[in-house]
Every structure is written in C-alpha cells, then in structure tokens.
Amino acid sequence: MSSQPNNAIPKYLQESEVSQECKDLIATLPMEKGWLASHLHQYQGFWYFTRQLQGVLSCQKHFNNSLNSDILIVTTPKSGTTWLKALTFALLNRHKYPKMFENHPLLTKNPHFLVPFLELDLYNDKDLVPDLNSIPSPRLFSTHLPYVSLPKSVIDSNCKILYLCRNPKDTFISLWHFTNKLKLDGTSTNSLEDSFKKFCNGVSICGPFWEHVLGYWKESLDQPKKIMLMRYEEMKKNPSFVLKELARFVGCPFSKEEEDEGVIDDILKLCSFKILSNLEVNKKGKLSSGEEHRAFFRLGEVGDSNNYLTAEMIEQLDIITEKKLGHYGFRF
C-alpha cells in the first residue's frame, strides 16, 4: 500500500488517506487484489476497496441518528443505483418541481450528487463527520452496505429501505466495464475470465453478490414495512407499476389526478436512460469520490451479458444463483 498521499489521483484509488484505526484493522483482514484500486479487504464477510472501507467504518461509528422518516436506497453495485436515485428524488420532490423539464435539479445535477452515499461520500473522509441534522425530512441517502454491516441506528430505526438488485450476469458485466473504464492506466484492464472467477468466488466490490441479495431478501420478508426489494429487470419491464409501488411504500402515493395528468410518465421520462445520459452534466464532471459521471451510463438494458459471457459462464452463474438464492425462494 502506498504511504504517500496523492491528491492528483481520484479518491476511489487512494489507499493511504485512511485513519490509523482503518490501517490497523486492514492489517488483520483478509486481502485480495482489487478490481480498481490495488486491494480489496474482507470486512464482516464482504469485500471493499481501501477508501470505501474507511467510509464503512466511519458511517458505522458516526451515523447514529437514523430517523424514522429517512429513506435509504441500498444496492449491490451496478444494479441501477443511479436510476433509482433519480426516480426516488423526482418522486419525493414532485410537488416542489412541478415543471419537470424546465428547472428540475436532475437536469443540472448528477443523481449521485442529489442522493449521496453514506460510505463513499458523506462519511468518506477520515477527519470529517458531517452534520446531517439540518437536512429537511425525508432525508434521502444511499449505500452499498450489506444488511449485516448497516449502521446500528439504521437497523434500530423505522426508516424505509429501498433495496434494488439485478441479475448477476448483467451486474457482473456492468461492473467489469465500469472498473475497466475507471482504471487510470488503460494498459492493465481486468480480463473477463479473471474477473469472472473473482466474481463467482465472491471477491467483487461489496461481494459476495449472492450473500448481499440474500441478506436483504430475508429481511424484506421479515420486515415488509421497512424493506422493499426491487429488481432492475422488473423496473425495465414495468416501470410505472414499480414507481407506483415505490410511491405507496414511502408514503406518498400518486393521486388519481396526478395519474391522469401524466405525472408518473413525466417522472419516468425525466429519469430515463435516454434523457439522463444525454444531459451535459452527466456527460462531463465527476463525483466527489472522483468517478466520472458518464461512467454511470453505459447501455442500461437487460441481457447485455449474453454478448460477453460464454454458455459455460452463463450456466455457472445460473447454478450458483439457484444454489444460493433459489433455495430461499428468490429468483431473478
């Protein structure tokens, strides 16, 4: 691990800007070669890049006032986080910005800016603890944390959790593209085969993928008022149905008048891949954590993994998925 702080490199690649507590912990944790930064560390059963681990520890320690009115978007990486952030933000703020295509914040701000990640954004700096008390309710945050690692106050409060997952084949291919795009030296791209093996073995960012999904699936059955589980494929197939369910779940259902006036269609249009990916703000600029906005918009379709994976790879992922999730009644 490099010991020189280097502000020229993006945060997601920095490995030295972490607290002594984090460094001491890392020395005791299993470690593997990273997809993006040099290392992944296994903490509480899941894998994180170094800077992310700093954020995980910090939000577990300091995010201790989760409110019943909070809404937390939780995803496995590359499951449609950006899309769900945009949809939820537009849903909650529809009365504030009725003219959706004129002055809406989504037209000039990336969805990750409007809905910050706890561990990758708000709590990512070792010396900074944000004051979130002045944010008007409902506060909208996001995280990639697995259920077992959520801050205790999130577990204890009656906040709402929106969990989104995506079939592992497309999730894997999206992650593979994303990490290769964000590597700075184009020479050392991760090979598909090598990344596939790692993904199947659970060694991926916030992996094992299946354990992440299983944790929230089980909790969504036990706590249906607190956790709503969504699938990317379902959102693509029937977006208005999912959006209406989402609105009901967070306590702001659409009225008959809104439905008749086309508010649902407007939100879906504003948050569509076509509109969001073509906005100036999303074609350039970066997140506070250093990733380019445009890296979050690639294709936005279901089934693109068929263009990359061999029949054997597909079979292998299907078998793992059935073994790990089918047994619990979960299918994509």
- Catalytic choice (112, 144, 212, 293): 144
* Distances 206 to 165, 215, 305 between C-alpha atoms, Å: 13, 13, 20
Verify binding: residue 297, ligand PAP, rule CB under 6 A.
Answer: yes
Verify binding: residue 300, ligand PAP, rule CB under 6 A.
Answer: yes
Q: Residues 108, 281: contact at Cβ < 8 Å?
A: yes
Pattern 256-275, ligand PAP, x by CB under 6 A: ---------------xxx--
Verify binding: residue 296, ligand PAP, rule CB under 6 A.
Answer: yes
Place of tokens 């989104």: 164
Q: From the CB of 299, what's the least distance to ligand PAP, in Å? A: 4
Is the Cβ of residue 52 or residue 54 nearer to ligand PAP in the bound state?
52
- d(CA 328, CA 60) in angstroms, rounded, equals 28
Is the Cβ of residue 25 or residue 234 nearer to ligand PAP in the bound state?
234
Choice from 62, 109, 126, 177 touching ligand PAP (CB under 6 A): 177
Is the Cβ of residue 57 or residue 165 nearer to ligand PAP in the bound state?
165
Verify binding: residue 282, ligand PAP, rule CB under 6 A.
Answer: no
- Look up residue 47 and give its amino acid: W
Q: From the CB of 131, what's the least distance to ligand PAP, in Å? A: 25
Complete DSSP assignment for 205-259: TT--HHHHHHHHHHHHHH-TTTEEEEEHHHHHH-HHHHHHHHHHHTT-PPPHHHH
In whole angstroms, what separates CA 181 from the centre of its chain?
Answer: 17
Q: From the CB of 37, what's the least distance to ligand PAP, in Å? A: 14
Is the Cβ of residue 48 or residue 83 nearer to ligand PAP in the bound state?
83
Is the Cβ of residue 256 or residue 274 nearer to ligand PAP in the bound state?
274
Choice from 73, 214, 276, 325 touching ligand PAP (CB under 6 A): 276
Complete DSSP assignment for 102-121: TS-GGGTS-HHHHS-BIIII
- d(CA 198, CA 317) in angstroms, rounded, equals 12
Choice from 52, 60, 66, 81 touching ligand PAP (CB under 6 A): 81
Verify binding: residue 115, ligand PAP, rule CB under 6 A.
Answer: no
Q: Residues 53, 26: contact at Cβ < 8 Å?
A: yes
Verify binding: residue 183, ligand PAP, rule CB under 6 A.
Answer: no
Is the Cβ of residue 53 or residue 153 nearer to ligand PAP in the bound state?
53
Verify binding: residue 10, ligand PAP, rule CB under 6 A.
Answer: no
| Extended beta strands in the chain, E state | 31-33, 39-43, 46-49, 71-75, 140-143, 160-165, 227-231
Q: What is the number of other CB atoms lying within 10 angstroms of the CB of residue 49?
A: 23
Please tell me the count of residues contacting ligand PAP according to CB under 6 A. Answer: 21
Give the number of residues written for the chain: 332
Verify binding: residue 170, ligand PAP, rule CB under 6 A.
Answer: yes
Bridge partners, 72 (sequence order): 141, 161
Peptide bond preceding 208: is omega within 30 degrees of 0, i.e. cis? yes
Verify binding: residue 304, ligand PAP, rule CB under 6 A.
Answer: yes
Pattern 50-79, ligand PAP, x by CB under 6 A: -------------------------x-xxx
Is the Cβ of residue 66 or residue 174 nearer to ligand PAP in the bound state?
174
> Which residues, in sequence order, are CB contacts of 27 under 8 Å at separation 6+?
none
**Choices 42-50, 63-71, 88-96, 292-300 (CB under 6 A): range interacting with ligand PAP:** 292-300
144 a catalytic residue: yes
- d(CA 70, CA 116) in angstroms, rounded, equals 13
Catalytic residues: 144
Per CB under 6 A, residues contacting ligand PAP are 75, 77-83, 170, 174, 177, 271-273, 276, 296-300, 304
